[in-house]
């Protein structure tokens, strides 16, 4: 009977799963309680270090170790398949080609409406990673200045400058136009206002050539010169700050700077949805490795993905070549994924909570995320 079930399972895996099948079994603990569910489970996963690490044909990592611990306590054996993207992982569970999804599977309202998730196994979030070690070596001061001059920031400053020219020009025109030796040689609005505008623009840049002769206009002019001074100081500070940020992170300082930028992430991920919502150009890849390569080869400006995964890469393999930008901007929880109504879920939840209570969870967490 058992042999037949095994044979059937092998046939379904071979026929049904388009993914790599890794046989790695977590042997049942000797004194484990007899399971009420199936003894052999097909687990579909994704390679996302340090949650899922693939080495020499076997998988490990935080999520895998956590799952293996649960599996061993439940007395079930796990056979791993690796999905090429999260969509295929979901499809495997949906089509009953896998019993459980294990990895960095974010709990979302859309997925929750179709599947069942375990209790959260970890909380994460999305974060941005850019090229360069703090300072973007590819940044060129001339192109930085050029892009700054034609940016929204410049437009905002230009609008303020326009207001700061139009208002005093009219005041000075009104006060000064009747003065015989004044800076406005005519009483007519046109061309009188042109003289006033020229004066106001010069004053704003603190380069005024001449001063009004009317006393009221003079007092006003002095006040306005101070305003011009403050404006120039603020503008200089903003210019310096923006250029520095641009040099450090290629102009990406947070999610709002991703609009129009080329951003790599994995196909069908929550990050892909978020990045699309930020009006960025999304470059969707299957494995995260391709995203890292695209960043290194300057095919993309940034990678947006799950914070624990990016942080791990930035601290290990990508050390000195990439840097993280800002804090995680969208919080998410990871869970194990089950088909709707799978009775295994409650058993897994009990085991997971016990792991948290007896310190096993913390031990596994420290092994993969702890600072050694
Ligand atoms: N946390 C991501 C998600 O659930 C992972 C995506 C992936 O496996 O590529 O959407």
pLDDT score, position 91: 98
Provide the token pair at 264.
């790599």
Q: How far is the CA of 152 from the centre of ligand 1 (A)?
A: 33
Ligand 1 near 104 CB (within 6 A): yes
Residue 141 or residue 25, greater confidence: 141
Cα gap 230→237, rounded to integer Å: 11
Where in the chain are all domains bearing CATH 3.40.190.10?
39-121+335-369, 131-136+252-332
Which top CATH class is 141-249? mainly alpha
Q: Provide the token pair at 7.
A: 């044979």
- The token duo for 180 is 């015989």
Query: Tens digits of per-residue pLDDT, 11-47?
Result: 343 344 445 556 554 544 444 444 455 589 999 999 9
Atom of ligand 1 nearest to the CA of 124: 1
Q: How many CB atoms lie within 10 A of CB 181?
A: 7
Give the confidence band of 155 by pLDDT, cuts at 50, 70, 90: confident
Q: Could you tell me where in the chain the CATH 1.10.287.70 domains are found?
A: 141-249
Span 225-247, pLDDT tens digits: 888 888 888 888 887 777 776 66
Topology given in CATH for the domain delimited by 39-121+335-369:
D-Maltodextrin-Binding Protein; domain 2 (3.40.190)
Q: Which CATH architecture has domain 131-136+252-332?
A: 3-Layer(aba) Sandwich (3.40)
Q: Is 294 in the pocket of ligand 1 (CB under 6 A)?
A: no
- 100 CB-near residues (< 8 Å, 6+ apart): 41, 42, 43, 44, 67, 93, 336, 337, 338, 344, 348
pLDDT digits (tens, 9 = 90+) for 307-323: 999 999 999 999 999 99
Measure the CA angle with vertex 181, ends 177 and 184; round to 5°: 35
The DSSP string of 140-184 is -HHHHHHHHHTSHHHHHHHHHHHHHHHHHHHHHHHHHTT-TTSS-
């Amino acid at each position: 009977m058992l042999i037949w079930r095994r044979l059937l399972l092998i046939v379904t895996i071979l026929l049904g799963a388009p993914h790599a099948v890794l046989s790695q079994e977590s042997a049942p603990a000797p004194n484990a309680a007899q399971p009420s569910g199936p003894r052999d489970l097909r687990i579909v996963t994704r390679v996302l270090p340090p949650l899922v690490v693939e080495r020499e044909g076997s998988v490990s990592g935080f999520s895998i170790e956590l799952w293996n611990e649960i599996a061993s306590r439940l007395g079930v054996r796990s056979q791993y398949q690796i999905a090429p993207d999260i969509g295929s992982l979901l499809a495997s569970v949906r089509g009953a080609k896998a019993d459980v999804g294990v990895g960095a599977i974010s709990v979302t309202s859309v997925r929750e409406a179709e599947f069942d998730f375990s209790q959260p196994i970890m909380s994460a979030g999305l974060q941005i990673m850019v090229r360069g070690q703090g300072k973007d070596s590819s940044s060129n001061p001339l192109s930085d200045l050029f892009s700054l001059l034609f940016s929204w920031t410049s437009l905002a400053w230009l609008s303020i400058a326009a207001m700061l020219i139009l208002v005093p020009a009219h005041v000075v025109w009104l006060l000064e136009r009747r003065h015989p030796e004044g800076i406005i040689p005519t009483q007519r609005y046109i061309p009188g206002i042109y003289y006033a505008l020229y004066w106001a623009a010069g004053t704003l840049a603190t380069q005024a050539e001449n001063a009004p002769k009317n006393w009221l206009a003079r007092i006003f002019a002095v006040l306005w010169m101070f305003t011009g001074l403050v404006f120039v100081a603020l503008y200089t500070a903003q210019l310096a700050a923006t250029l520095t940020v641009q040099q450090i992170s290629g102009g990406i300082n947070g999610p709002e700077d991703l609009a129009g930028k080329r951003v790599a992430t994995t196909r069908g991920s929550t990050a892909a949805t978020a990045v699309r919502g930020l009006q960025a150009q999304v470059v969707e890849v299957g494995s995260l490795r391709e995203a890292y390569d695209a960043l290194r080869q300057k095919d993309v400006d940034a990678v947006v993905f799950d914070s624990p995964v990016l942080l791990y890469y930035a601290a290990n393999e990508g050390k000195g070549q990439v840097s993280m930008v800002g804090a995680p901007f969208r919080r998410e929880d990871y869970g194990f994924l089950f088909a709707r109504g799978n009775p295994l879920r409650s058993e897994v939840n009990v085991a997971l909570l016990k792991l948290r209570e007896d310190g096993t969870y913390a031990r596994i967490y420290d092994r993969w995320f702890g600072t050694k």
